[in-house]
């Protein structure tokens, strides 16, 4: 089976690691992670890739959750019977699973970071939201947040130093947790290989 993967740039490294480990025959194209600051642009960007790719693969995996599109991504994918996306609202949930759920229930005012977001915190969060030029916006964006939880996927690529510095910049209490990639891999295998998935 020939697989196409259209993925958010924030999870490309993890998807490649899983696809290689599973021995899939795939091709991957990425969509800039910066679109998370403008989620209304995600579905049109995915649509442009799908229009170019739709007839080339047996299965196309869209490497996104809903990611703030308000259902627009799922409505788009309904038009393509061989296209599937990762179940879940966003990458924090399909990396963290129960860890994410417990934290969100315990402290709703939590800002989450993945390995990718911690690594690119200054560019995506500080510069992306204009906080480097207008630091007074911090209260508008993060005034309701209390904690920052770094969800670490790869201990060998630990980004806790950057994550901790980001929490300090935003004035948030810092926490971290190891998630690995098991839950994400289960969901991908269920989509691509048709196995059952308890995640």
User: Mean pLDDT over residues 28-46, rounded?
Assistant: 92
Q: Please report, for the chain, the start and end positions of each structural domain, with discontinuous segments joined by +.
A: 2-90+181-193, 98-178
Residue 91 and residue 95: Cα distance in Å, rounded?
6
pLDDT of residue 174: 98
For the entire predicted model, the pTM comes to 0.88
Q: Which H/E stretch holds residue 199?
A: none
- Mean pLDDT on 124-150: 95
- pLDDT tens, position by position, 44-73: 999 999 988 878 899 999 999 999 999 999
- For residue 96, pLDDT beyond 60: yes
pLDDT score at 193 = 81
Residue 195 reports pLDDT greater than 90: no
Which of 164, 106, 171 has its CA nearest to residue 144? 171
Average pLDDT over every residue of 104-132: 95
Instruction: Tell me what pLDDT residue 186 has.
Output: 94
Average pLDDT, integer, range 31-49? 92
Res 99 pLDDT > 50: yes
Band (160; pLDDT cuts 50, 70, 90): very high
8-state DSSP, 137: H
Assess whether pLDDT exceeds 90 at residue 84: yes
Using alpha carbons, select from 150, 180, 152, 181 the residue that is nearest to residue 168. 150
CATH architecture of the domain formed by 2-90+181-193: 3-Layer(aba) Sandwich (3.40)
pLDDT band at 118 (very low <50, low <70, confident <90, very high): very high
**Predicted local distance difference test score (pLDDT) of residue 199:** 39
pLDDT value at residue 198: 42
Mean pLDDT of 137-155: 95
**DSSP per-residue string spanning 147-191:** EEEEEES-GGG--HHHHHHHHHHHT-EEEEEE--SHHHHHHHHHH
């Amino acid at each position: 089976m020939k697989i196409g993967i259209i993925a958010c740039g924030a999870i490309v490294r993890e998807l490649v690691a899983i696809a290689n480990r599973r021995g899939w025959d795939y091709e991957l194209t990425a969509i800039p992670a910066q679109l998370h600051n403008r989620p209304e642009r995600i579905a049109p960007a995915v649509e442009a890739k799908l229009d170019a790719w739709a007839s080339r693969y047996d299965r196309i995996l869209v490497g996104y959750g809903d990611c703030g599109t308000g259902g627009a991504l799922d409505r788009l994918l309904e038009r393509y019977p061989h296209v599937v996306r990762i179940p879940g609202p966003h990458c924090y949930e399909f990396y963290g699973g129960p860890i994410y759920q417990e934290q969100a229930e315990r402290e709703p005012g939590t800002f989450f970071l993945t390995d990718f977001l911690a690594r690119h915190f200054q560019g995506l969060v500080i510069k992306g939201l204009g906080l480097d030029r207008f630091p007074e916006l911090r209260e508008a964006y993060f005034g309701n947040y209390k904690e920052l939880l770094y969800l670490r996927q790869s201990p060998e690529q630990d980004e806790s130093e950057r994550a901790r510095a980001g929490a300090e910049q935003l004035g948030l209490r810092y926490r971290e947790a190891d998630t690995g990639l098991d839950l994400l891999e289960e969901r991908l295998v269920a989509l691509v290989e048709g196995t059952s998935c308890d995640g």
